[in-house]
Amino acid sequence: MAAEAVVTMDGWCMLHDSRVFDWASWKVANEKERTEAVAEFKELISKWEAVEEQKNGSQSIYKVVGNKADLIFIFLRPTMDVLEEIQRELNKSKIGDYLIPGYSYVSIVEKTMHNPMDEGRDRELNSKVEALLKPILPKWEHACFYPMARRRWKDANWFAIDKAERTRLLYEHGMTGRKYAGKVKEIISGSIGLDEWEWGVTLFAHDPLQFKKIVYEMRFDEVTSKYAEFGDFLVGNYLPKDDVDTYFSL
């Protein structure tokens, strides 16, 4: 007998878009070109901020620590069409000429319903969960993103255990997360059928040490130790619009 599938409530579409900046080409560009590119980029950020003010989406930009990328853009919008438009607009901008596409991840913000009151209405949101499904990204100093999936091992197949057991395991996992309330904010997005992994996890913190602490502690939860697989981690420092000039200055 097959295990019962979980019902999810689904919100905004999410794109993590990391870029390597072509500093070598930037250095040989003339000052006028660089000034115009930065000014246009700031106008683009202002356009995105206006969308956020209207609560029609959200976004943040982070400076990646390490050699996996230079910048990561995190976008939340109502549809995949709008996400693609944003990506295309960024690529067509002057600064886009220097942004080399790197890793990307496509997903949809979700909340799992283990005891759904009303199944089958994927995008009809309860007022209590709407803020979770259509989140405004916190402009905290640090962000961490990683993709993950559940194991299908012979003796540890997440998709073969019954619903009650999955609920128990996830409840215990959630209790660990509650210890970090106020220290870490988390957004879970589903990517089954959309990208390589099954879920994306985006964390925000004022102190990056909290990423290490929460992920380490959660590794000891049964749901993680027995059933979880992880992809690469990306960690970055927040880049507000007011600091864009300094970031691109030579």
Give me the residue spans of the domains in the chain: 7-248
Type of residue at 135:
P
Whole-number pLDDT of residue 116: 43
CA distance 145 to 16: 8
Nearest in space to 73 (alpha carbons), one of 59, 85, 86: 59
Task: From the candidates 146, 171, 180, 216, give the one annotated as an active-site residue.
Answer: 146
Query: What share of the chain has pLDDT > 70, as a percent?
Result: 93
Residue 118: band (very low, low, confident or very high) from pLDDT cuts 50, 70, 90: very low
CA distance 247 to 209: 24
Which DSSP state fits 156? E
Whole-number pLDDT of residue 4: 77
pLDDT at 119 over 90: no
Alpha helix (H) residue ranges in the chain: 23-28, 31-53, 80-92, 127-133, 163-178, 209-218, 222-227, 244-248
Encode pLDDT of 22-59 as tens digits. 999 999 999 999 999 999 999 999 999 999 999 999 99
Active site residue 98: no
CA distance 228 to 222: 9
Q: What is the dihedral of CA 224, 227, 233, 235, to 10 degrees?
A: -30
Which DSSP state fits 213? H
Nearest in space to 15 (alpha carbons), one of 67, 89, 94: 89
Q: What is the pTM of this model?
A: 0.93
CA distance 234 to 80: 23
Just give the CATH number of 7-248.
Answer: 3.30.70.1030
Residue-averaged pLDDT of the chain: 93
Query: What share of the chain has pLDDT > 90, as a percent?
Result: 86
CA distance 190 to 110: 6
Q: Which residues contact 193 (CB under 8 A, 6 or more apart)?
A: none
Terminal Cα distance for the chain, rounded: 64
Encode pLDDT of 166-220 as tens digits. 989 999 999 999 999 999 999 999 999 999 999 999 999 999 999 999 999 999 9
What integer is the mean pLDDT of 57-75? 98
Q: Which of left, alpha, beta for 120 (phi over 0: left; psi -120 to 50: alpha)?
A: left
Encode pLDDT of 121-150 as tens digits. 444 556 667 889 999 999 999 999 999 999
What integer is the mean pLDDT of 94-110? 97
Q: Which of left, alpha, beta for 182 (phi over 0: left; psi -120 to 50: alpha)?
A: left
Choose the weakest-confidence range: 14-28, 66-80, 166-180, 232-246: 166-180
